[in-house]
Structure 1
Amino acid sequence: MKNFALALATAAVTAFAVPAFAGEQYIDGTGFAVSGYDVVAYRGLPQSAVGTAQQAGVKGNAAITADYNGSTFAFSTEANRDAFEKNPAYYAPQYDGHCAYGVSKGGKVPGNPNLWRIVDDKLFLNITKNVVGFWEEDIPGNIDLAQNNWPGIEGKDASENKIPDFTSAAPIKN
């Protein structure tokens, strides 16, 4: 039994240690990664308890930008841009800005910059409040599933994947 528990603990640690492979970020109609929101600013925002809404992200300034993985990121301050340029992989969202729960279900759909959470020092986005409810039911398990699914869907265009059904979970509380 001790060996099983040790193996399970090792698998959990390994799952969180595996990086989400960096590729081109999801870009929407704004022309910016993360819809033009400042990815460095999330690190300074207080996180709400699981099951409650997070504070809205901070919009970036189109005049303060940096390029990473074929995409342009916008920042609210030059200091945030400079921090990003020193370590962009640390600040960029997981799964190239796609919905973390969608990736856990094998799909590739956009992430919403106002539906975020930092887990194990990594930024995750989700698509809708209902999806956040699903994702938060088992964050470690969903991250593990997403880590395993991501290599098979990373290079695909989002239109190649069926959007998973996200309609049956209760929404998070505001």
Structure 2
Amino acid sequence: MKKFILSTAAMVLTSAMATASFAGEQYIDETGFAVSGYDVVAYFDLPQSEVGTAQPAGVPGQADIIAEHNGAVFAFSTEENRDRFVADPDNFVPQYDGHCAYGVAQGGKVPGNPNLWRIVDGELFLNITENVVSFWEEDIPGNISVAENNWTGLESMGASQNTIPQFTSPAPLQ
């Protein structure tokens, strides 16, 4: 019986470690930061607009208030936000490693624009262009379901190397 319990525990631990090692690469643009240097914690404190209307702009981070997670550097607007992130990064990182949620639902990895965001069931989703947001918002639950199924095949692929269209980063992070 002891052998069975130890064997089962080893399989669970090995499975958990294997899952962690297969995390995909975060999308990193020309800024060198995940989410283009925007503060991922700040999204959760912003008011969320109704579906079909634009969200408030994201909050740029500071180059000297950072934390690393999943091989990427995240910037924060305040030390408090960085500390909240460090305490539980999985609560704040964007889904699909910062790639466009609708793009993943369509079967690919394209950049996520930090100003085209929505929080659904406590998770941060990004999209690539305003036009894509309108398609994604036609059926958010359905698109998330399809994206989740697609992500299992896409996650291990490298991050998108494309530039975010129609997006200009704010002044260089200071």
Which band: TM-score by shorter chain? 0.7 to 0.9
Q: Percent identity?
A: 74
Partner of 1:148: 149
Report if aligned partners of 1:38, 1:57 keep a CA contact under 8 Å in 2: yes
For residues 87 and 146 of structure 1, the distance between their equivalents in structure 2, rounded to whole angstroms, comes to 24
Q: Does residue 52 of structure 2 align to residue 51 of structure 1?
A: yes
Partner of 1:5: none
Partner of 2:33: 32
Equivalent position amino acid for 2:147 in 1: A
Q: Tell me by how many angstroms 1:90 deviates.
A: 0.5
Q: Rg larger in 1 or in 2?
A: 2
For structure 1, the residue ranges without an aligned partner over 5 or more in a row are: 1-20, 161-174
Alpha-carbon displacement from aligned partner over 1:24-61 (angstroms, at most 9, x marks no partner): 31101000000000000000000000000000000000
For structure 2, the residue ranges without an aligned partner over 5 or more in a row are: 1-21, 162-174
Q: Tell me by how many angstroms 1:155 deviates.
A: 1.6
Q: Does residue 145 of structure 2 align to residue 105 of structure 1?
A: no
Partner of 1:171: none
Closer, same or farther: CA 87–158 of 1 in aligned 2, 3 Å: closer
Q: Does residue 133 of structure 2 align to residue 132 of structure 1?
A: yes
Could you state the TM-score of these two structures normalised by the residue count of structure 2?
0.78
Report if aligned partners of 1:40, 1:83 keep a CA contact under 8 Å in 2: yes
Partner of 1:68: 69
For residues 109 and 157 of structure 2, the distance between their equivalents in structure 1, rounded to whole angstroms, comes to 8
Q: Tell me by how many angstroms 1:157 deviates.
A: 2.7
Task: Count how many residue pairs are aligned between Structure 1 and Structure 2.
Answer: 140
Closer, same or farther: CA 108–47 of 1 in aligned 2, 3 Å: same
For residues 98 and 108 of structure 2, the distance between their equivalents in structure 1, rounded to whole angstroms, comes to 13
Q: Tell me by how many angstroms 1:23 deviates.
A: 3.0
For residues 89 and 73 of structure 1, the distance between their equivalents in structure 2, rounded to whole angstroms, comes to 13
- Coordinate RMSD, CA, aligned: 1.4
**Aligned-partner SS, 1:52:** coil
**Aligned-partner SS, 1:113:** strand
**Aligned-partner SS, 2:90:** helix
Report if aligned partners of 1:26, 1:34 keep a CA contact under 8 Å in 2: yes
Closer, same or farther: CA 127–148 of 1 in aligned 2, 3 Å: same
Runs ≥4 residues deviating over 4 A:
none
For residues 129 and 87 of structure 1, the distance between their equivalents in structure 2, rounded to whole angstroms, comes to 30
